[in-house]
Amino acid sequence: MIFRKNKVCDVPGLTKNVGFWSNFTVRSTLLVVLSMMIVGLFIAGVQGYLVGLSSFLTNIDVIYNVYVSLRDLSWMPLVIISLPLFGVLLSWLVEKHSCNRRDMLVILMTSFTILMSLFLYPNALEGGQTFNIPGVLGLGLSFRVDMLGFTMLMITSVLWFLVMVYAHEYMLKERHSSRFFVFMGITYSSVLGTIMAGDLLTVFLFFEVMTFASYMLVVHGQKDDSYHAGYNYIFMGIIGGFAILIAVMLLYFTVGDLSFASAIHALNEAGNIKFVIIGLLIFGFGIKAGMAPVHVWLPRAHPVAPTPASALLSGIMIKLGAYGILRVATSYYFPQEGADFSAPVWLTSNAVGSSVIWLGIITMTIGVFFALQQSNIKRMLAYHSISQMGYIMMGIGVALYLGSYGAMGYAGALYHIINHALFKSLLFMVAGVVIYHTGEANMYKLGGLWKKLPLSATVCLIAALGISGIPLFNGFVSKTILHHGIVEAYEYHGQMSMVFAERIFIVISAGTVASFIKLFYFVFLRKPDQPHQLNPEYNNLDTAMAMVALLIIFIGLNPNFILNAFIIPQLNMMPYSPTFVDTYIVGMSVFTYDDLTIMIWIVLLGGLIFYFGNKFHLFHIKLPYWLNLEYLVFYPVNVLIRKSCHLMYGDQCKYNAVTLQKLALKDNKDIGFLDRFVLMASIFNNRYEKRIIKSDAFIYTIFITGILTFMLVMRLL
Amino acid sequence: MIIQIPVISLVFFLLMALIVPLFKRRNFAVTTTLGLIVLLIVWVLTVVLVRDVYLNGPFTYAFGNHESFIGLELLVNLFSAGFALFMLSLIIIIYVYSTSDATEGIAEKEYGRYYILLFILLFAMFGILYTNDLFNTYVFMEILSITTVSIISIKRKKENYTASFRYVMLNEVGSLSYLFGVALLFMVTGHTNIDLVAASIQSSFDDYTANIVTALGFMLTGIGIKAAIFPFHIWLPDAHSTAPTSSSAILSGLVVKLYILIMIKMLFRLFGFDIVSAMNIHIVLMMIGAFGMIMGSVFAIGQTDVKRMLGYSSIAQVGYIVLGISLGTVLGLQAAFFHVLSHGLMKAALFLSVGAVIYHKGVRKVKDFNGMASEMPVVMTVFGLAALGMIGIPLTSGFISKLNLGLASLDANQGYLIIIIIVSGLLNALYYLPILIAAFLKSNKPGDLGLKVEPIPRLMMVPIVVLGLLIVYFGLFPNMILSWFEEIAVVLL
Amino acid sequence: MSFLQTIIDHINYIGAVAIFVIGLHTVVTHSNLIKRIMGINIMGMAIFMFFVAIGSVTGGKPPIIDGDGGPYINPLPSVLILTGIVVVVSITVYSLSLVIRIYETYGTIDQNELLKRMQEEDES
């Protein structure tokens, strides 16, 4: 064991690449294999294999007792949430001695989290134990892990573990790695808290903590870019948080209870406020989920964060937005179990669902469209995150829209959450490896890397096949289920618009294929203009990536594994029609003729898009600035601000020529809305502050006359 | 014995103010220790008092055993004793801080004067809280004004003189306004005792409407000036930013709140909310509260001096309290009371941490805060906590205020007010976050984020940390204090 | 006619209010700091007059009980006003001393001039 001083951790470049047989890599690889084996055994056990092993284990009294006591531990969620925080504390103690030890501790803690979450399974199957902490935050917190929560918990903890393994190696090249791991830990525990929350207030609490903790990850680079992106990120986050807060208040006021249970009767009685509430919730969670048109922070924030953070931001954190929408919409807005499809209680969720479907469609279109234009790998991946979130949103929309037959959409959305977490974080990790080795993020300047980085090229291919939805890879499964969902949306309600939605879905999938052909071609296949010199050794980066790739293939080959272990138990707890679930989802096969043909069409179309795009340089189109979304949204505001400035100063704005010139510029690409507002406020301030101060007694006179007259008028009326 | 406690505390403060000059030649630490002992004694007494009131109900104390229509009367109930306890606790924290840092900008031989003024200030504050007499309130208000203005001008600097002159002018207009209102009420009722006046207002409102309504207008405006409610905020930013740090914390965190409490007393006990709402005064209050919440923040955005920014932020926060009061419901008052508490804590924490920065680094411009957290991690963490509380992020007491205020406005069928609350929170974010980002991330010296504690005196550090902890504590477990506030509010309505 | 009668009956109150308005006007319109203080004093005096006027009883005697009986004026307002005068005097003294300080540092007691000089100092 090499002892390093704290400074070594915080100063990049002092640590050399450690080879495969160095202690750290070996141990973490073993740990990865071990944890994955445990997870694998668990899933196999859940599916009814390995009965012998489990009965053998439960026959040993000690193990059985420990198992039972942990299973029945009602405050298990708190334990899980505090594990990463505990890790932060420990690593703070340890990091003085050794940087490696600290990282090992972080990795160990995340693997513990996986282990601990497994104990929640038996209760989750029955809908979860509720654990209340009354009095905290005034209204009290509560935790409950049902199968939806458990599914999210599993994917989060597994992925976080693997990314932490990856992060050890990656962060050796970054500054302030201690700070990074501290905030990573806080973010992790808030993510876990969001997932395990049993009411909206708890979700809100952890959501806010996550916003602030992950902000520190986004701006970790401490460059101008990251400050810009971070400013955007945190303000959108705060706005989203406040939207959720308003919804919390409205909901508490109308329903009187915030725990995730059916509240549709109370909401129906309250009238149209229910649409305001769900609108605010979709807006608030949608900001985190990267939903159009409030996605603007995402393509800025994800690329500037250090790769492990962007892998998790794209892999897990934006999913929490989708998870939030799914959670609130399918609890508050769903009737109790057993309501009929035609029952009027479904009308609300029906109305909400159709708008969510279209939000999803718009989101996926915008995402893919911009992704095709990007040259920066990470930026392109970020836009794809938006687009894939569109798929998930669409699935959620279908789940709401179809009422008791929406199980297909629900399953598709949840499945796509899992899959997207896997392949998007893998893609980000690959991008990170490429940047780690070459220092270049522009894909047009890269090329030929498959010889230098064979393993990265392979896993990148796997992930690309996954995201494109090629059969035998995981994306295919969820995309097919989602496709079934959108087709059903048409069949059950017979609305023509859903046919368009389905067509757009196909085209977008083709666009995704095209853009990943582009990525793989430019980064790995193409002959490079200038070959890069690098001689990578096997290290933790590869371990983590290989493991995620294995998971992708595993899911792709056994699509029903996830379905049976996680999704169907959850569907059975929902008020969905049990016959529908039994007929169409249990034991469903995605490898049917119809589905495969659609996939072939998609791939062919994608190839065509890539071919023509590359040939006619369509990937380099720059849209005129006035089509820029932010410009369109904020233009009226900008004009208003400019006008009011003229009002205050007339034409010769004497006070500060430079700031005013900035304000007066027509094409205001560099100066954002918030900056404008701040500038405006300070100009306003400079103009009027002194004047107001001077007229102290005058204001008094006006006010006293005003209030007396007011009361006189009131009296006379 | 317990019945004497309010008077004893008043006498203690006055005595302490008298004693300070006697120790002029001694080591200064003797004075500060003695002051602390006095504060602690009174604190213990007040705790006993609050417990007694909580168990046995309110009582009145008549000076010289005169009848209440002729004599002075102190009223001790949960409202007065409870807030006295809160203010005293906060002042003890600030006092401990001030023993190390009262001295910023004050000449050395004038340290003692600062403490004389501080104790007279306390005397006046307690007097205002306990008294049950309109004219007596006026007298205490004037004592408070004079001490406040002396504290502001104790630093012999140019801007202090102009700031305190501005303060005197406007506050004197306010006091006279208030006195005019008292005169009008006296004309109708012939009393100055609040209970008696209130009773005869209720019975004779229809006969003497003009007088009572004019009195309401004048008193409201007068107290509004003193409480720095929005259009009358003019004096506040300069006064609070130029005063010595610890007194800025007291002025912004407590004194302004004290006037708000007088306003509550006046609206709910003197006139009764029925009359106030019949005159639609609550709508006026709601409007100026909402307007202040927005405009205070807008002015704060434009500031370059951190302490001035905090002053403007106080104006916005006073708007929250006024908004809560204007709802006229138990929930609204409860939210207002809680915001009095939480804003007191947060603003004190902000002022003290900025004071520590000024003490240690000698800078007070926003742009000088770059990388401050690497030099003063603890102080800036508390600053950050309090600033997040101002924005309304959960886990801080500011969030609880926002939540309660929002629920209260929904409860009063004024749901649209939530939008104003939220917008104001966003505006707060616009000026607090850049400071935090600059302090924590824009380090001047790269690679220097070791966890070393800044070298400022312990006695300055401890209060700051305690305030930070209290902010988080009330953010996590507000229910006990909220139920107290509910009891107070129920009595008032 | 009754209107006029009302005015005459309440002339003491109306006079006090008029003086109050005069004082306020002085405070609002004048930029000379000393004149503003004078305005405040005038306002204060108006209120004191008002207070005393409330307590007066037509044909009342000073409230010194000498056995004659008869209507006395209400002594309470007068007592209160004594305190009030003391307070206003002290405030006046303090603000005058502040004016002296301001004059020493800025060399002017005109409010507009003062603001201009302060702004110049800020900018320099």
DSSP letters spanning A371-430: HHH--BHHHHHHHHHHHHHHHHHHHHHHHHHTGGGTHHHHHHHHHHHHHHHHHHHHHHHH
- Grouping H, G, I as helix, E, B as strand and the rest as coil, residue A519 is helix
Cβ separation of C115 and A690 shorter than 8 Å?
yes
CB-CB under 8 Å, B135 with C83: yes
Q: What is the mean pLDDT of residues A529-557?
A: 81
In whole angstroms, what is the distance from residue A657 CA to residue A679 CA? 12
Q: Collect the ranges in chain B with pLDDT lower than 50.
A: 447-449
B104 is a domain residue: no
> Residue A223 pLDDT > 70, yes or no?
yes
Would residue B346 count as lying in a domain?
yes
pLDDT at A602 over 80: yes
* C34 shares contact with chain B (CB less than 8 Å): no
- Range with lowest mean pLDDT among A61-75, A199-213, A337-351, A418-432: A337-351
Mean pLDDT confidence for A124-149: 85
User: How does pLDDT run across C10-28, given as a tens digit for each residue?
Assistant: 888 889 989 999 999 998 8
Of the candidates A239, A288, A354, A334, which has an alpha carbon nearest to the alpha carbon of residue A576?
A: A334
Among A382-386, A635-639, B138-142, B374-378, which stretch is predicted with the lowest mean pLDDT?
A635-639
Residue range A411-430, pLDDT digits in tens: 999 999 999 999 899 999 98
Chain A residues near residue B301 by CB distance under 8 angstroms: 677-678, 681-682, 685
In a domain, A247, yes or no: yes
Question: Is B39 among the domain residues?
Answer: no
Structure token pair of residue A407: 């199980």
Range with the poorest average pLDDT among A638-642, A654-658, B18-22? A654-658
Interface of C with A in 29-58 (CB under 8 A): 36
- Chain B within 8 Å of C77 (Cβ-Cβ)? yes
pLDDT exceeds 80 at position A172:
no
Print burial letters for B308-327: b (CB count within 10 Å at least 16), e (below 16).
bbbbbbbbbbbbbbbbbbbb
Name the residue among C26, C14, C38, C22 with its Cα closest to residue C95: C38
Q: Nearest CB to B218: which of A239, A696, A704?
A: A704
Residue A652 has pLDDT above 60, yes or no: no
Question: Phi and psi of A624, rounded to 5°?
Answer: -60, 150
**Does residue B473 lie within any of the structural domains?**
yes
pLDDT of residue A655: 43
Alpha-carbon distances of A695 from A57, B241, B296, rounded to whole Å: 83, 20, 17
Residue A378 has pLDDT above 50, yes or no: yes
Closest by Cβ to C54, choosing from B138, B146, B187: B187
**Among residues A553, A504, A315, which one has the least CA distance to residue A428?**
A315
The reply to whether A154 falls in a domain is yes
Q: In this complex, do C83 and B139 lie within 8 Å of one another by their Cβ atoms?
A: yes
Domain that holds residue B331: 292-493
Among candidate residues A562, A593, A615, the one where a domain is terminated: A615
Average pLDDT, chain A: 82
Torsion angle of the four alpha carbons A145, A148, A150, A152, in this order, in degrees rounded to the nearest 10: -120
On the question of pLDDT at A651 being above 70, the answer is: no
For tokens 């213990």, the residue is: B44
| pLDDT for the residue numbered A1 | 28
Give per-residue pLDDT as tens, A502-516. Answer: 888 888 889 899 888
Residue B461 lies in a domain: yes
Judgement on whether residues A307 and A442 belong to the same structural domain of the protein = yes
Residues ≥6 apart with Cβ < 8 Å to A696:
B166, B169, B170, B234, B235
Query: In terms of Cα–Cα distance, which of A104, A109, A108 is closest to A4?
Result: A104
Query: How deeply is B249 buried, as exposed, middle or buried, from its count of CB atoms within 10 A (0-12, 13-18, 19+)?
Result: buried
Lowest mean pLDDT among A559-573, A659-673, B359-373: A659-673
Domain count, chain C: 1
Pick the residue with more confidence: A498 or A205? A205
Q: Is the pLDDT of residue A708 over 70?
A: yes
Residues A322 and A240 in one domain: yes
Q: Determine, for residues B234 and A239 on separate chains, whether the beta-carbon distance falls below 8 Å.
A: no
Per-residue pLDDT, averaged over C89-100, amounts to 91
Cβ-defined contact of C27 to B173 (cutoff 8 Å): yes
| Residue C107: both structure tokens together | 């060399």
For the full predicted model, state whether its pTM sits above 0.90: yes
Domain range enclosing C99: 2-123
Residues A468 and A597 in one domain: yes
Residue A670's φ and ψ, nearest 5 degrees, are -80, -25
Tokens representing A625? Answer: 């600035």
ipTM associated with this complex = 0.93
Indicate the burial class of A7 (C-beta count within 10 angstroms; 0-12, 13-18, 19 or more).
exposed
Q: How far apart are CA B362 and CA B353, in angstroms?
A: 13
For residue B420, give both structure tokens: 């104003």
Residues A85, A164 within the same domain: yes
C70/chain A closest Cα distance in angstroms:
39
Q: Is residue B444 part of a domain?
A: yes
Same-domain status, A237 and A263: yes
Instruction: Give the total number of structural domains in chain B.
Output: 1
pLDDT for A342 equals 64
User: Which of A395-409, A524-538, B35-49, B326-340 comes out lowest in average pLDDT?
Assistant: A524-538
Interval A105-111 mean pLDDT: 86
Same domain, A367 and A296: yes
| Averaged confidence pLDDT in chain C | 86
Residue C101: other Cβ atoms inside 10 A: 18
pLDDT tens digits for range B341-359: 999 999 999 999 998 888 8
A673 and A629 Cβ atoms separated by less than 8 Å: no
Query: Is A343 a member of any domain?
Result: yes
Total of domains in chain A: 2
Residue A665 clears pLDDT 60, i.e. is over it:
no
- Is residue A6 very low, low, confident or very high in pLDDT (cuts 50, 70, 90)? very low
Q: Quick check: A668 pLDDT over 60?
A: no
Task: Choose the final residue of a domain: A615, A640, A668.
Answer: A615
A&B contacts, CB < 8 Å:
163
Q: How far apart are CA B249 and CA B464, in angstroms?
A: 12
Question: Which residues, in sequence order, are CB contacts of B107 under 8 Å at separation 6+?
Answer: B156
Query: What residue of B is the nearest CA neighbor of A176?
Result: B447
| pLDDT confidence of residue A637 | 65
pLDDT at A123: 85
Which domain range does residue A271 map to? 6-615
Residue A653 is assigned to a structural domain of this protein = yes
Residue A1 lies in a domain: no
When comparing pLDDT for A624 and A77, which is higher? A77
Decide which of A615, A649, A664 is a domain's last residue.
A615
Per-residue pLDDT tens over the stretch B77-93: 889 999 999 999 999 99
Which residue matches tokens 């919440």? B293
Q: How far apart are CA A384 and CA B158, in angstroms?
A: 60
| pLDDT number for residue C92 | 92
- Establish if B175 belongs to a structural domain: no
Q: Does A654 touch chain C (CB under 8 A)?
A: no
Gap from B298 CA to chain A (nearest CA, Å):
6
Q: Which residues of B touch C99 (CB under 8 A)?
A: 165
Lowest mean pLDDT among A62-76, A147-161, B414-428: A62-76
Which residues of B fall within a CB distance of 8 Å from C14? none
Q: What is the pLDDT of residue B92?
A: 93
For A691, nearest residue in chain C (alpha carbons): C115
Which pair of structure tokens corresponds to residue B348?
Answer: 């004190």
| The two structure tokens encoding residue C120 | 């110049």
Q: Which amino acid is residue B185, in one-letter code?
A: L
Q: For the domain that residue C74 is a member of, what is the CATH number?
A: 1.10.287
Q: How many Å lie between the alpha carbon of C79 and the closest alpha carbon of chain A? A: 28
Does one domain contain both A318 and A223?
yes
- Whether A669 has its CB under 8 Å from any CB of chain C: the answer is no
Q: Is B482 within the bounds of a domain?
A: yes
Lowest-pLDDT range of A53-57, A253-257, A377-381: A53-57
CA–CA dist B339, B397 (Å, integer): 8
A621 within domain boundaries: no
Secondary structure (DSSP) of A312-333: HIIIIIHHHHHHHHHHHHHHTT
Q: Which of B130, B117, B158 is nearest to B250 (CA)?
A: B117
